[in-house]
């Protein structure tokens, strides 16, 4: 498993778990979901995530970097992080119906399954937006 796959696996898992906890225990768990979205967004922009240091110590390998521009993995992180943040903010701050968090669950599941399959819809969107595939 690569660093980016492990990061998507962890992010997708925490998103789904925190959504379940927010739904069945207390809505404050949605803040954890938002925190994951924020970390995905900042890792897509800065190319750094706190979990990456732990994954490197565990011996996971990074994919080769793109020589110029942003990689498709950064695009996936930016897209998923933005969408998670937007949907959670709509529920937490704008008091919209929690049903919109089903969309967040779809993002979480998509990230989770992409760790195993190597593909998620955000990869196609990121390619269309001009993010580059690592060599």
The pLDDT assigned to 63 comes to 76
CB 18 within 8 A of CB 32: yes
- Cα 47 from Cα 108, distance rounded (Å): 20
The pLDDT assigned to 10 comes to 96
The continuous run of DSSP H or E covering 127 comes out as helix 121-128
- Cα 9 from Cα 24, distance rounded (Å): 23
The pLDDT assigned to 52 comes to 85
Q: Mean pLDDT in the chain?
A: 92
Q: pTM for this structure?
A: 0.93
Where do the domains of the chain lie? 3-128
Which burial class, exposed, middle or buried, applies to 90 when counting CB atoms under 10 A from its CB (0-12, 13-18, 19+)? middle
Q: What is the CA radius of gyration of the chain?
A: 15
Q: Percentage of residues in the chain with pLDDT exceeding 70?
A: 96
- Cα 28 from Cα 67, distance rounded (Å): 41
């Amino acid at each position: 498993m690569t660093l980016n796959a492990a990061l998507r696996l962890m992010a997708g898992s925490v998103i789904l778990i925190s959504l379940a906890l927010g739904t069945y225990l207390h809505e404050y768990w949605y803040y954890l979901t938002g925190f994951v979205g924020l970390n995905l967004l900042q890792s897509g922009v800065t190319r750094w995530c706190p979990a990456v240091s732990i994954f490197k110590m565990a011996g996971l390998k990074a994919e080769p970097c793109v020589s110029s521009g942003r990689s498709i993995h950064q695009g996936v992180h930016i897209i998923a992080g933005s969408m998670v943040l937007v949907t959670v903010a709509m529920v937490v701050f704008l008091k919209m119906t929690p049903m919109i968090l089903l969309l967040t669950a779809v993002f979480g599941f998509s990230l989770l399954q992409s760790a195993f399959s190597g593909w998620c819809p955000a990869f196609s969107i990121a390619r269309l937006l001009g993010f580059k595939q690592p060599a």
